[in-house]
Amino acid sequence: MKIVIIHSANNGFFPRFYRELHNSILSSGHKAFLLQPRNGANIRNQLPNQILFGTRLNWYIHHKLYKLTGIQDIWSFWETIFMIIKLIKINPTIIHLHVVNECNINFPLLTWYTRYKKIPVVWTMHDCRAFTGDCAYFDEINCDRWITGCKKCPIKFTYINNTHLQWQIRKKIFNKFYSLHIVTPSNWLANYVKKSFLKSHPCQVIYNGVNIDIFQKEYSDKWLDQYNIRNKIIILGVAGAWEKRKGLDYFIKLAKDLPQHYQIVIVGNIPQKIEKIINIPRTNDAYFLASLYQHSTIFCNPTLDDNFPTTNIEALAAGTPIITFNTGGSPEAIDSTCGIVVKKGDYPTLKNKIIYMANHLNQFTRNNCTKRAELFSNKQYFQYIELYTKIGKEVK
């Protein structure tokens, strides 16, 4: 089989995700290709069998039209023609979409191509935007308008609030993919898909996997001395870029309110230096990241909008227990032996549970954490191979 994976940008979770999926496809005797728009992230962070299409100018024009009209998925006509020409040359067995609503693709053209060539489509949805009028997440504002049409959207992304029309366009277009199979990395997101205008399509959960061997090896703890925190109880947070949605405000409060022998350490880009918080810049060094997890006391994830955070799995693989808000699919990574789930936004309970966990680490042992992490190993990616094989047999 030839699997063509389409994804917008090589940043965040995706490079590691793709490498593991790519390796699983190849080891199963199939071929994988990565089709992506030509942009800075994809040029700087090249991945195996990557094929680029389009121009940065096209994205700029598409993005401007989106901002002006509130409609995203109908522009980039010629760029999508060029993308389809590349698809024709590859002649894929299956097209596998990931994050694609990023001002690069004309979806009426793409869906037509899949029907014309009778190419099945797998769509792994890493957020909610495929079935909303625009937003990737809506939990924070407790919105359910996406079920009936996204009218009068309380979150405005564009000059004209056209979310209802965008919702109608997506409903019409996305249901025209040939033999669409939806995958979500969490039961939380799968439950939303089953309430959406995509509910008639098969939907299954395949949790994201990580290379747990990397995080389970023993690494140096020299960074504890570098920051003079060897005798501290370390509360770790990890994100690519910190913002309100990721829970930065809760770490700022914790830094002020926790006892002096606690230390907040957050990894990732932050808007500005924060008092009493040690900030380690975003890193792509998996071994250093594993050391940070391993030698922290607790991994704290007070996310307000999320699907299935890979950071939770990485922490477990490193043997570090987790405290997280009951947000999205975040609680699905843990059980009572390796973590605690707190009601979203309940700061007093969050603080108290951190202190409780730090004083009762015998209940949340390293062995409990690593055992739980085995459920989210690289073996998860072979579930995609099984899905590809099943779909391939169905369409013969």
Which two structure tokens, joined as six digits, stand for 315? 């922490």
Cβ proximity of 62 and 76 under 8 Å? yes
pLDDT in tens, the chain (396 residues): 999 999 999 988 899 899 999 999 999 999 999 999 999 889 999 999 999 999 999 999 999 999 999 999 999 999 999 999 999 999 999 999 999 999 999 999 999 999 999 999 999 999 999 999 999 898 878 899 999 999 888 887 888 889 999 999 999 999 999 999 999 999 999 999 999 999 999 999 999 999 999 999 989 999 999 999 999 999 999 998 898 889 999 999 999 999 999 999 999 998 888 999 999 998 888 899 999 999 999 999 999 989 999 999 999 999 999 999 999 999 999 999 999 999 999 999 999 999 999 999 999 999 999 999 999 999 999 999 999 999 988 876
Please give the distance of CA 20 from its chain centroid, rounded to a whole number: 15
Number of domains in the chain: 2
Residues 251 and 284 in one domain: yes
Record the pTM. 0.92
Residues 366 and 390 in one domain: no
Residues 201 and 298 in one domain: no
- Per-residue pLDDT, 396: 61
Residues 244 and 152 in one domain: no
Residues 340 and 286 in one domain: yes
Query: Residue 108 belongs to a domain with what CATH number?
Result: 3.40.50.2000
Q: Which residue has the tokens 């995203």?
A: 72
Residues 164 and 118 in one domain: yes
Residues 255 and 310 in one domain: yes
Q: Which domain holds residue 132?
A: 2-209+378-395
Residues 28 and 175 in one domain: yes
- Per-residue pLDDT, 181: 98
* Rounded Cα–Cα distance for residues 346 and 321 (Å): 19
Residues 344 and 356 in one domain: yes
Residues 130 and 78 in one domain: yes
CA separation (Å) from 77 to 61, 74, 105, 133, 258? 11, 8, 8, 21, 55
Length of the chain: 396
Residues 53 and 85 in one domain: yes
Residues 310 and 189 in one domain: no
